[in-house]
Amino acid sequence: MVTKMRLSDEERTRYLSPTHHIDCDSETIASYVSPRIKGLTSDKEKAMALFDSVRDDVLYDPYYYDLSPDGMRASSVLKKGRGYCVAKALVFTAAARAAGIPARLGFADVKNHLSTRRLRELMGTDLFVYHGYSEIFLDGRWIKVTPTFNASLCSKFGVHPLEFDGENNCLFHPFDSEGRKHMEYVLDRGPYDDIPVDEIINASLAAYPTLFKTLESLGGETVLGDFSREAEAE
């Protein structure tokens, strides 16, 4: 039996309020959310609709990094239409808050067995530190969801796209459609009210020195390659 909980007034306010990165009060987020939840009455329905939208409208791109001060704002990511896992979690979290659903960010270290050869070479590992997901408060409990991989990319990797039923955690499948290892959750770092920028940068610098040397040589906001094309080729 699942034990239900209630958020205090302070908690509810905290998980519905905008932050610098989760700018759920921006016009960009509001105009995105409004038509997608029109006519829906329950938080469950709204969360499911927003999950599907963010999953497929914002393309997963681990090669796209915007290191400018405002690059990791939900509205900025939404305008660009692509980003890596943390960026997509920011968009979904902001969208949920804009729809009146308490939401926060979560982070975990995961092993990704289906990355491309070039990405593995740049990273020097199959361990992704501070993989970003979202937690939303529905029916008296926190539910973990990750809208990271868009359906079109999943088809290229032979992975079933995640479907959120509004009731259960929706995280990466451990195996792909052919039974190969897909994702392993190694360390759950827990929930955060906002993105821990310094923690992520420090952990990433330590884990991926080659990747960041490449980024530094190219400078600031840059695109390292075409991940979707690599996935299709492999």
Provide Rg for the chain, Cα atoms: 17
pTM of the predicted protein model: 0.90
Residue range 84-136, pLDDT digits in tens? 999 999 999 999 999 999 999 999 999 876 677 888 888 888 888 999 999 99
Residue range 39-52, pLDDT digits in tens? 999 999 999 999 99
* Per-residue confidence (pLDDT) for residue 217, from 0 to 100: 64
C-alpha 113/C-alpha 175 separation (Å) is 9
* Per-residue confidence (pLDDT) for residue 2, from 0 to 100: 65
Q: From 3, 7, 2, select the one nearest 191 (Cα to Cα).
A: 7
Question: b/e string for 14-51 if b means 16 or more Cβ within 10 A?
Answer: ebbebbebbbbebebbeebbeebbeeeeebbebbbbbb
CA distances from 68 to 49, 72, 218, 228 (A): 30, 8, 14, 24
Tokens for 12, please give them: 């509810």
C-alpha 195/C-alpha 188 separation (Å) is 15
CA angle 187–182–104, rounded 5-degree value:
45
* Per-residue confidence (pLDDT) for residue 126, from 0 to 100: 83
* Per-residue confidence (pLDDT) for residue 159, from 0 to 100: 81
C-alpha 74/C-alpha 90 separation (Å) is 5
Domains, the chain, in order of start with CATH, read: 9-233 (3.10.620.30)
Tokens 């804009």 sit at which residue?
A: 98
One digit per residue, the tens of pLDDT, for the chain of length 234 reads: 567 899 999 999 999 999 999 999 999 999 999 999 999 999 999 999 999 999 999 999 888 777 676 888 999 999 999 999 999 999 999 999 999 999 999 999 998 766 778 888 888 888 889 999 999 999 999 999 999 989 998 888 888 889 999 999 998 876 666 776 677 888 999 999 999 988 988 898 888 887 777 766 655 545 566 777 877 776
C-alpha 47/C-alpha 95 separation (Å) is 9
C-alpha 156/C-alpha 135 separation (Å) is 27
* Per-residue confidence (pLDDT) for residue 224, from 0 to 100: 65
* Per-residue confidence (pLDDT) for residue 183, from 0 to 100: 77
